[in-house]
Structure 1
Amino acid sequence: MKVAIVHDELVRRGGAEQVVLDMHNAYPEADIYTLCYNPDKTYEEFKTAKIFTSWFQYIGKSEKLIKLLYFPFAILAMRSFNLKGYDIVLISTTHCGKFVRADKNASVVTYCHTPFRLAWRPFSYSIVKSSNLLIRNIFLFASRILRKLDLMAAKASDFYLTNSKEVKARIEKSYHPEKPVSIINPAAKLDNFYISMEDKDYYLVVSRLEDYKMVDLVVKSFNEMPDKKLIIVGTGSKEQELMALAGSNISFRKGQSAAQLARLYANCKALIFPQHEDYGITPLEAAASGRPVIAYGVGGVRETMVPYMGDSSKCTAVFFEEQSTSSLIAAIEKSEKLEFDPIFIRSHAKLFSAPNFIAKLTGFVNKVYKQKMATKLNSMVTETIETSGAKYQLELANTYAGKKVA
């Protein structure tokens, strides 16, 4: 079975890129095709993979340039890939990965992290919501074009996989796939994390510093609690704004090594997770460190976390109901009165291990491949039988006519 792996772009360290790493570990001989690749910006493990980039590699090595030049250049660049000779094309995508051209004999299995937001949910972008009428209409016009193109490309997938129930419903609503969408929860790198017995004196945020991540909510909340320490790990377009907003009890870190990040997780009081995410890897990383999560209780955390329901020894998270400072502060204060069990929390995280993800993924792909081979074999047998039957009928007819069949 010859497998190709496709991903939108490899220019960051994020949850989608971790999924691709697990795909690579599942199929280490598979070729990886991507729009562009920056080895210094994404996970180091990709350096051992066989990666093919498009001509977009020369113009778009950063997230900002990819967004700026996405339409039409990123789409055209992805269309330039013509993947021939593969039995399985395994696509990881939110936007342009699905535009590759696969061999007509290949089975296309798409792991969709979410349908392209600009095409299907343009008002989830703050620039669309807050812009004047002219700018908003330009975005909405572009959104309509992208939606049509995205839907056309989505029809080329034979099977859909995704990360959560929420995204499954979104895929069904957007793409109307013929076959059921299957959920395979992404894995956290559990082996990178450990339980620490050191004293905990700070809370932690690990996030990209963008509007939708709601880190400003955490900063404002801790500004009202100057006696509590907060460490924020991450970079993004809101970095300077957040640093200017933060009080003296809040510090920022970036460029953390895996070991440094693991230590920060292991020794925090809790991870603060204020955003609505489709899935979310960082709560599982905290859980792998035996640390609880204080999370906005919607989206993916409802599938990965065990909320506090009266027994703190059998939970992994405290949920808050509103994205407001009062709701978050109340959840933090509640968590400080509880006794969490680090062993239980880490044991729960093991349900979302890389081996579990790989086993489910390869099981699904193997089933697809076997079904395809069975269909191909049945077709060959049917064709042989039909050919043999036609030849036998011809022999009978010629014999009846008194002719010798050669």
Structure 2
Amino acid sequence: MERSTESGRIETVLLHDWLTGFRGGERVLEAFCDIFPESPLYTLIHVPNTTSEKIEKRKIVASFLSKIPKIESHYRKFLPLFPSAAESLTIRENPRLILSSSHCVIKGVQKPKDCVHISYIHSPMRYLYDQYDNYFGKHAPLYQQWGGRTFRSYLTSWDLSSNDNVDYMVANSKFVQERIKKYYRRDSHVIHPFVELQDFREHAKKDLPKKDYYLMVTAFAPNKRVDLAVEVFNELGKPLKIIGSGQQDAWLRSFAKPNIEFLGNLSRDQVIHHMREARGFIFPGVEDFGITPLESLAAGTPVIAFKAGGVLETLTEETSLFFTEPTAKSLKNAVEKFENINFEHGRLVARAEEFSKEVFQSRIEGFINDVVPR
């Protein structure tokens, strides 16, 4: 896909909000890097060696935020500066295509003249729109509540105006497509993300014995509803292992009982190992897409999920059990019902196989070829 011309101009520039870890958004970015192996990458914040070799080995240009000491631990506190940071990034190359991976402000980087900007939207900024109360409501620290009230109008106004910089929006799910239509008044094309299926091939071959624990793999953010799972498993007394970290870490640990084990951030192999052994995977939040439930299926483990958001496009009743209310009672009933259901291993794995990296990249390249003039 990467093409050169007699003038030597760079054909494609990549954008991504920040490079401080390696999660679902960074896996999508890595897939873009496979398609465009020579393209430079612009970002708000770059903490070296926190992503993958494919991402790190290219030219990376970061904004002034990267110069702030210990920014990797406190970047969320600088949200009001994100628009200015995006505007400060000047693309020096002369590309025909800008491909952004955006869930915050990076789509607002000014595009050069005669360039097509395709933005892959993981989500409109959920903390400004439909999940504002989860992030800035009464439960949040006072400084956070004040910040939300003070800057929300400015940030939403800037976010909407920055869409003028985008020629085509690609949503990662129909759920996000609907939110783009609602908040941005823009049409978009849907291309679902993918599961790194090769990581799970050995586990998918046969139905191995399960151990008596449930599992979560998540960031500790308000929309993930880890608190709901902790509340339910406190009451049930059943073993729950939680992999991940985040802003709610200390609070969640403060009221979790001994049957709930916080494992922190583990290696990819360790995460897959726990997914394979777990009795069930708990997914109580509302996600725009949700990679980890599909990864659980790829490891041969069924899912208990809240019936909302992107999981309605990926999980089925043959692979998962849904609970319908975002309450402890509803999740508790689902866990108790789950233990009397036998899920077929082959159906779990087959469903995950429908979301391969190869399919994703083919659809992205096809869309680019359709809209970028040759």
Q: TM-score, normalised on structure 1? A: 0.83
* Secondary structure of the structure 2 residue equivalent to 1:363: helix
Inter-CA distance 121–58: structure 2 relative to 1 (3 Å threshold): same
Out of 195, 210, 219, the position equivalent to 2:221 is 210
Say whether the 8 Å CA contact 2:210–2:276 is kept in structure 1. Answer: no
**Partner of 1:184 in structure 2?**
191
CA shift digits 1:28-86 (9 cap, x unpaired): 222111111113433454233332222321117645532222323x3223222232410
Inter-CA distance 248–129: structure 2 relative to 1 (3 Å threshold): closer
What stretches of structure 1 move > 6 A for 4+ residues in a row? 131-135
Inter-CA distance 280–86: structure 2 relative to 1 (3 Å threshold): same
Query: RMSD of aligned C-alpha atoms?
Result: 2.2
Give the whole-Å Cα distance in 1 for the aligned partners of 2:48 and 2:145.
Answer: 36
Out of 264, 271, 275, the position equivalent to 2:285 is 275
Out of 6, 10, 15, the position equivalent to 2:24 is 15
Give the whole-Å Cα distance in 2 for the aligned partners of 1:132 and 1:340.
Answer: 42
- How is 1:262-301 mapped onto 2 (pairs within 5 angstroms)? 262-301=272-311
Mean alpha-carbon deviation: is it higher for 273-282 or for 195-204? 195-204
Q: Which is helix-richer, 1 or 2?
A: 1
Say whether the 8 Å CA contact 2:49–2:56 is kept in structure 1. Answer: no
Q: TM-score, normalised on structure 2? A: 0.90
Offset of 1:129 from its aligned partner? 4.4
Give the whole-Å Cα distance in 1 for the aligned partners of 2:39 and 2:333.
Answer: 49
Letter in 1 for 2:89: F
Inter-CA distance 28–124: structure 2 relative to 1 (3 Å threshold): farther
**Partner of 1:327 in structure 2?**
330
Offset of 1:325 from its aligned partner? 2.2
**Partner of 2:358 in structure 1?**
355
Give the whole-Å Cα distance in 2 for the aligned partners of 1:160 and 1:214.
Answer: 28
Inter-CA distance 126–158: structure 2 relative to 1 (3 Å threshold): closer
Inter-CA distance 134–238: structure 2 relative to 1 (3 Å threshold): closer
Offset of 1:256 from its aligned partner? 0.9
Give the whole-Å Cα distance in 1 for the aligned partners of 2:339 and 2:141.
Answer: 44
Letter in 1 for 2:84: L
Give the whole-Å Cα distance in 1 for the aligned partners of 2:97 and 2:218.
Answer: 34
CA shift digits 1:298-317 (9 cap, x unpaired): 1111001012xxxxxxx111
Say whether the 8 Å CA contact 2:127–2:135 is kept in structure 1. Answer: no
Letter in 2 for 1:241: W
Say whether the 8 Å CA contact 1:218–1:274 is kept in structure 2. Answer: yes
**Partner of 2:8 in structure 1?**
none
Letter in 2 for 1:75: P
Say whether the 8 Å CA contact 2:35–2:361 is kept in structure 1. Answer: yes
Say whether the 8 Å CA contact 1:122–1:140 is kept in structure 2. Answer: no
Give the whole-Å Cα distance in 2 for the aligned partners of 1:327 and 1:182.
Answer: 34
Give the whole-Å Cα distance in 1 for the aligned partners of 2:282 and 2:33.
Answer: 31
Q: Which structure has the bigger radius of gyration?
A: 1
Offset of 1:340 from its aligned partner? 0.9
Say whether the 8 Å CA contact 1:123–1:129 is kept in structure 2. Answer: no
Mean alpha-carbon deviation: is it higher for 152-161 or for 112-121? 112-121
Give the whole-Å Cα distance in 2 for the aligned partners of 1:337 and 1:134.
Answer: 46
Inter-CA distance 14–55: structure 2 relative to 1 (3 Å threshold): same
Give the whole-Å Cα distance in 2 for the aligned partners of 1:240 and 1:116.
Answer: 25
**Partner of 1:317 in structure 2?**
320
CA shift digits 1:312-339 (9 cap, x unpaired): xxx1110001122221122112221111
Give the share of equivalent positions with the same residue, in percent.
32
- How is 1:179-258 mapped onto 2 (pairs within 5 angstroms)? 180-193=187-200, 194-195=203-204, 197-226=208-237, 228-258=238-268
Out of 160, 174, 185, the position equivalent to 1:151 is 160
